[in-house]
């Protein structure tokens, strides 16, 4: 069965046997109709606030944080065990934990 989606004017292929929906605009395969509706709502509201670098954010506070700490800036936190650098302390902490798991 072939349906036409009204919000995006995107053709949707609906396979009756497997209950899968495929949005051909972004090539997403969604198993259940409920998840499809949630996907459309997220997709419709996503990316309201755009940065010059191309990233988009749903909330302006996230855009401001990106512009203050990430956009166009080199990573600030260096790993003491390897040459990797991270943008946040949390990311560095998770990276160091991976080193510790490898050494066990």
Query: Does 56 map to a domain?
Result: no
Domain count, the chain: 1
Query: Does 39 map to a domain?
Result: yes
Region label for 78, one of left (φ > 0), alpha (ψ between -120 and 50) or beta (otherwise): beta
Query: Does 30 map to a domain?
Result: yes
DSSP 8-state assignment for residue 76:
-
Query: Does 14 map to a domain?
Result: yes
Q: Which two tokens stand for residue 39?
A: 């996907």
Query: Does 23 map to a domain?
Result: yes
What does the pLDDT profile of the chain (104 residues) look like in tens digits?
344 444 444 444 544 444 455 444 454 555 566 666 666 666 655 667 888 888 888 788 988 988 888 888 898 999 999 999 998 899 999 999 998 887 75
In the block, tokens 């198993």 appear at 31
- 86 close to 75: Cβ distance less than 8 angstroms: yes
Would you say the C-alpha torsion 10, 11, 15, 16 has a positive or negative sign? Answer: positive
Query: Does 13 map to a domain?
Result: yes
> Which structural domain range is residue 15 located in?
2-45
- 78 close to 85: Cβ distance less than 8 angstroms: yes
Query: Does 26 map to a domain?
Result: yes
């Amino acid at each position: 069965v072939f349906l036409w989606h009204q919000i995006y004017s995107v053709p949707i292929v609906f396979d009756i046997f497997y209950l899968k929906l495929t949005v051909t605009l972004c090539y997403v395969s969604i198993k259940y109709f409920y998840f499809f509706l949630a996907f459309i709502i997220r997709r419709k509201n996503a990316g309201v606030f755009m940065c010059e670098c191309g990233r988009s954010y749903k909330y302006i506070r996230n855009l401001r944080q990106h512009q203050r700490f990430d956009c166009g800036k080199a990573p600030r936190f260096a790993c003491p065990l390897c040459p990797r650098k991270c943008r946040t302390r949390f990311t560095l902490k998770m990276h160091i934990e991976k080193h510790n798991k490898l050494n066990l």
